Structure 1
Amino acid sequence: MSKVRIGIIGCGGIANGKHLPALKKLHEEVELVAFCDIIEEKAIKAKSEYGTEDAKVYTDYKELLKDKTIDAVHVLTPNRSHSFITIDALNADKNVMCEKPMAKTYAEAKEMVETAKKTGKILTIGYQNRCNPESLYLKEVCKADDLGEIYYAKAHALRRRAVPTWGVFLNEYEQGGGPLIDIGTHALDLTLWLMDNYKPKMVVGTTYKKLGDQKDCGNAWGDWDQSQFTVEDSAFGFVVMENGATIVLESSWALNTLDVREAKTTLCGTKAGADMVDGLRINGVKFNKQYVIKPDLNASGVDYFDGVASTPADIETRTYIDAITKGTELRVKPEQALVVTQILEAIYESAKTGKPVYLAD
């Protein structure tokens, strides 16, 4: 097919920091022909830096979707609007790359999946941490059954003092939550993907806002506005899968800890284990002796395309475009992202009610 014509809905930080630079590298295969943001200046700026000469600017995404020449859109808005913009785009015959998390609620995410199936359009979610060198290598380890049955795992998303103070990150209405839905979602997605286990049975969760009301907290991005801090500052989940496996999810923007790890996982299997504490480490026992292996991931062949080093965002974008143009398999399937949202919602519900949430009979 000719170049994929793409429209961008939401021209804020994630668009400029991740998606637009990655799409620009594929200029021989894609054209950025439309930019939409409720703040028109942001759309104009994105067009000037990344768009075609005749690219159009919109403040209403529904007007953008009327353009029948657009093949695909990137939905890069706050979490609240992921679902209805994606559903409208799919119904307008557009393929969709939607930023994480899939949606605020399981019901919204499920409708996104159902709409993609109904329309036959491609839908994927922006979980680029699957494309890190450690993740790609560890996935091959898991596929080869080198770890055996993975029955215990930890999903790590811990920051000591890194509360995002810009945009609407602190706004529960717009985002649906704080660190759990923001960065915990990456760690959980990565862990489920590596385990290849998408059947949760029961969830217990706790959320805390212990530091969000404090001042002078040494935040990486400066002091936050306490009056605007309407989400949790840390959240934790205990997930039991149908096959009996256990996942512990830990997430924080602000926590008194030195165990800082973000978008990382720890896997414990019957044959061996793996973690991402100091790069990728694989541990086990051989010839009656314990061992630790650290693969050299600096060599080419892990996260490279055509001999050129690629960022996780580059790989994510390449996979999405190839799915459109070549019909190749998506790296992140919407049905997988749906389960992530289901578990996150259950953690919030459990934290609110003080009771376990049962997801399977």
Structure 2
Amino acid sequence: MVLKVGIIGCGGIANGKHMPALSKIEEVEMVAFCDVLEDRARKAKEDYGTSESLIYTDYQELLLNKEIDVIHVCTPNNTHAEISIAGMKLDKHVMCEKPMAKTSQEAKEMIEAQVETGKKLTIGYQNRFTTAATYLHEVCKAGELGEIYLGKAHAIRRRAVPTWGVFLDEEAQGGGPLIDIGTHALDLTLWMMNNYKPKYVVGNTYHKLSQTKDAANAWGSWDPEEFTVEDSAFGFITMENGATITLESSWALNSLDIGEAKTSLSGTKGGADMHDGLTLNGEDRGLLYEKKIELETGGVDFYDGAGSDPAYLEARSWIDAILNDTPPIVKPEEALVVTEILEAVYESAKSGEPVFLKKEAKK
């Protein structure tokens, strides 16, 4: 069986991840490309489609195409829910790029549509598919770290502010580094801990470096007038079972302790961190140990192992879930909790007060 896929949003993430990964899967044919900029959709068709592939500038017209089985939503955050819900109601399975939605209410409405229609819905957290993450997840599932009561979600860039698209637009995106890269680190941490029950959140956001003119930056200086989102954000999350998660994110921070989509874990039997590859630690017979995991599978200069690209593995897993009618690796209910926590960090930063997510029982 060949699944016919429509791409909605043919910008950076579609070209950098979704379309290249899907092009490697035999059971997939990209038959439609949609973007508000027609030239971008046309270029996507040239690169990844066929002569019969269709071009759209209105996603609603694409969704009316009954031949399309699956859509990939690669648009700004404030359109994720609207497009995903419409897609499911028109009989499409939906892969939506992270974060799930701009708000938790929108994310809940996406889940309601998924339940109502029975279509599959997943969110693009491809970092679960790195070698380090899949290995560590197996370690956690096996209980080798014991009860994990401390998690640290790391997403720190020293100077790497994205200056294209709508990344700096709070209205379109809902936030800056927290919702952009912090979301990946938080997803990994919750997944490893298998803990999706936050109790309350305390957060702070900062606009300390965003107004710097002629700033050093990986993609060239940003325009301070366009930089309407935070440049860094930090959260402290207490879970219902008493576990603690710290969340740190930045696009611009005077720090050398940098790293994206990484987690550190502390449990009753051992710990792990992803700062320099993957290292496990613990105590054995009264002595402390560190165990460095060799993540490369090659062993010879010209071969580094096959099938290890996280983007491909994410797409392959997603297509398999549809073909085999199995749950996707990234479940929408899990992605909802990520969005709830991110939203609570922003709310706490504005109010200066903790935000409670656990519903206290009435006395």
CA contact (8 A) 2:270 2:281 kept: yes
Q: Please give the secondary structure, in 2, of the residue aligned with 1:41.
A: helix
Q: Please give the secondary structure, in 1, of the residue aligned with 2:255.
A: coil
Which ranges in structure 2 are unaligned for 5 or more consecutive residues? 299-304
* Mapping for residues 144-155 of structure 1, pairs under 5 Å: 144-155=142-153
What is the total number of aligned residue pairs between the two structures?
353
Which residue of 2 is the match for residue 13 of structure 1? 12
Which residue of 1 is the match for residue 260 of structure 2? 262
Q: Distance in 1 between matches of 2:169 and 2:181?
A: 15
Deviations 1:220-275 (A, max 9, x none): 11100111000000000000000000000000000000000110000000000000
Q: Distance in 1 between matches of 2:63 and 2:215?
A: 44
- How far 1:328 sits from its partner (Å)? 2.7
Instruction: Please say if 1:33 is aligned against 2:31.
Output: yes
Question: Could you tell me which amino acid in structure 2 is paired with residue 283 of structure 1?
Answer: N
Q: Distance in 1 between matches of 2:214 and 2:54?
A: 44
Question: Could you tell me which amino acid in structure 1 is paired with residue 243 of structure 2?
Answer: A
Which residue of 2 is the match for residue 164 of structure 1? 162
- How far 1:277 sits from its partner (Å)? 1.5
CA contact (8 A) 2:125 2:187 kept: yes
RMSD over aligned CA atoms reads 0.8
- How far 1:299 sits from its partner (Å)? 2.3
Which residue of 2 is the match for residue 345 of structure 1? 343
Which residue of 1 is the match for residue 302 of structure 2? none
Q: Distance in 2 between matches of 1:171 and 1:295?
A: 40
Deviations 1:6-62 (A, max 9, x none): 000000000000000000001x21110000000000000000110122010000000
Which residue of 2 is the match for residue 4 of structure 1? 3
Q: Please give the secondary structure, in 1, of the residue aligned with 2:151.
A: strand
- Out of 227-236 and 328-337, give the one that drifted further: 328-337
Q: Distance in 2 between matches of 1:310 and 1:133?
A: 7
Which residue of 1 is the match for residue 115 of structure 2? 117
CA contact (8 A) 2:149 2:242 kept: yes
Q: Distance in 2 between matches of 1:277 and 1:318?
A: 27
Q: Please give the secondary structure, in 2, of the residue aligned with 1:197.
A: coil
- How far 1:85 sits from its partner (Å)? 0.4
Q: Distance in 2 between matches of 1:88 and 1:243?
A: 37
CA contact (8 A) 2:130 2:308 kept: no
Which residue of 2 is the match for residue 71 of structure 1? 69
CA contact (8 A) 2:214 2:222 kept: no
Deviations 1:157-203 (A, max 9, x none): 00000000001000000000000000000000000000000000000
TM-score, scaled relative to structure 2: 0.96
Q: Distance in 2 between matches of 1:227 and 1:235?
A: 20
- How far 1:308 sits from its partner (Å)? 2.6
Which residue of 1 is the match for residue 301 of structure 2? none
Q: Please give the secondary structure, in 1, of the residue aligned with 2:158.
A: coil
CA contact (8 A) 2:131 2:308 kept: no
Which residue of 2 is the match for residue 102 of structure 1? 100
Identity of aligned residues (%): 65
CA contact (8 A) 2:206 2:232 kept: yes
Deviations 1:84-135 (A, max 9, x none): 0000000000000000000010000000011001100000000000001110
Which residue of 1 is the match for residue 40 of structure 2? 42
TM-score, scaled relative to structure 1: 0.97
* Mapping for residues 181-192 of structure 1, pairs under 5 Å: 181-192=179-190
- Out of 307-316 and 79-88, give the one that drifted further: 307-316
Which residue of 2 is the match for residue 135 of structure 1? 133
Q: Please give the secondary structure, in 2, of the residue aligned with 1:157.
A: strand
Runs of 4+ residues over 3 Å off in structure 1: none
Which residue of 1 is the match for residue 55 of structure 2? 57
Q: Distance in 2 between matches of 1:308 and 1:13?
A: 25
Instruction: Please say if 1:218 is aligned against 2:216.
Output: yes
Question: Could you tell me which amino acid in structure 2 is paired with residue 107 of structure 1?
Answer: Q
Q: Distance in 2 between matches of 1:158 and 1:308?
A: 29
Which residue of 2 is the match for residue 22 of structure 1? 21
- How far 1:212 sits from its partner (Å)? 0.3
Q: Distance in 1 between matches of 2:244 and 2:142?
A: 21
Deviations 1:311-355 (A, max 9, x none): 100010001100111123311000000000000000000000000
Q: Please give the secondary structure, in 1, of the residue aligned with 2:225.
A: helix
Which residue of 2 is the match for residue 303 of structure 1? none
Question: Could you tell me which amino acid in structure 2 is paired with residue 43 of structure 1?
Answer: A
